[in-house]
Amino acid sequence: AHLSAARKAELERVASLIATPGKGITACDEGPGTIGARLENVGVANSEERRRAYRQMLFEAPGAAEHLSAAILDPETLLQRSSTDGALFPHKLQQLGVVPGVKPHLKVYALPGQGGATVMQGLDSLAARCEEYAAQGAQFAKWRSPLEIDVAQGQPSDLVIRANMHDLARYALICQDVGLVPIVEPDISLKGCHDLETAVAVNVKVQAELYKSMLDHGVYMEGSLLKPNIVNPGRDCAEAYSLREIAEANLAVLRRCFPIAMKGANFLSGGQSLGDAAARLSEMNKLKGDSPWNLSFSWSAALQMPLFDLCRGHGELQLEAMSELYLAELEIAGAAARGEYEAQGDEGAHLPAPSLAAAAA
């Protein structure tokens, strides 16, 4: 009720653009330190100009915009310009038909007494920062709340879930008040030894708390989007699962609690390879039937880490080669978003390491 009809219409319009079928999000919102570490790991010195040139390649690679509906930027990137025509990157993205957004949260903070479980910081000054980001051209924001499953330690606890999901709801409320579409990201890590059934139960509990909190806060659901983890058994789970079983588990979570008012879910990669992430997303789209949501990608590491490897031994960004590989990766991602990617071999299945399988036998 606090939002005008015009504001609701604009939020829903932008959310619909981001949820364009067959297109997804390139997530390039790593801070200068994170992307700098990736550069230095392959022998390339970290500098603002190299970060700018790299992000320009992600935005302007020929053909990339055909597969992209949106891009998530670090605040630094909002103020950088394309060397092609001098346009600020948010305006350049809009020219290309890609919706520009921003990561507004700060750093995680470990909650005392919760075994290392965290909450994300940055709510206190969020409204002022979001107003600045909107003035700089951002049309949406994305807030990540990381969680881990540790059955032995009782994590995520009710307190940890409640604190993180209420923070996501308050973030979403603030974003909409200043005109940004909020993407909410409850990110449950691949770490752990839990089975797929446990992952389903925890994901349902987390997402149910999120949507209830969003509604309690008065968030306009039609003008918000979800960026979830792909539901998986823990990386160290000793039980094997097929690609179809994992896809069906993800659809079960969505069908049990994801509001149909929200137009789509753009899954994060979260440490999966491009092949595994694409196989799982594609299988979900093949099996979703009449489920109403657009299911697509919002990938960072799955797309970017192979690009950095091309620079190893050269001491400088290999932008032409990176651009070519990036386009090939986006073609895979786009096919997965359409349900047209065909898994190669065991892609998308969970196959325990031989030592884990032997221990469980």
Active site members: 185, 227
Q: Please name the residue that has the structure tokens 């094997």.
A: 240
Which one, of 174, 112, 177, lies nearest residue 143 by Cα?
Answer: 174
Quote the CA–CA distance of 11 and 93 in Å, as a whole number: 18
Measured in degrees and rounded to the nearest 5, phi and psi for residue 120 equal -90, 140
Partners of 73 in the beta sheet? 28, 102
Residue 313, phi-psi category: left (phi > 0), alpha (psi -120 to 50), beta (remainder): left
| Beta pairing partners, 296 | 266
**3-state SS record for the chain:** CCCCHHHHHHHHHHHHHHCCCCCEEEEECCCHHHHHHHHHHCCCCCCHHHHHHHHHHHHHCCCHHHCEEEEEECHHHHCCECCCCCCEHHHHHHHCCCEEEECCCCCEEECCCCCCCEEECCCCCHHHHHHHHHHCCCCEEEEEEEECCEHHHCECCHHHHHHHHHHHHHHHHHHHHCCCEEEEEEEECCCCCCCHHHHHHHHHHHHHHHHHHHHHHCCCHHHCEECCCCCCCCCCCCCCECHHHHHHHHHHHHHHHCCCCCCEEEECCCCCCHHHHHHHHHHHHHHCCCCCCEEEEEECHHHHHHHHHCCCCCCCCCHHHHHHHHHHHHHHHHHHHCCCCCCCCCCCCECCCHHHHHHHC
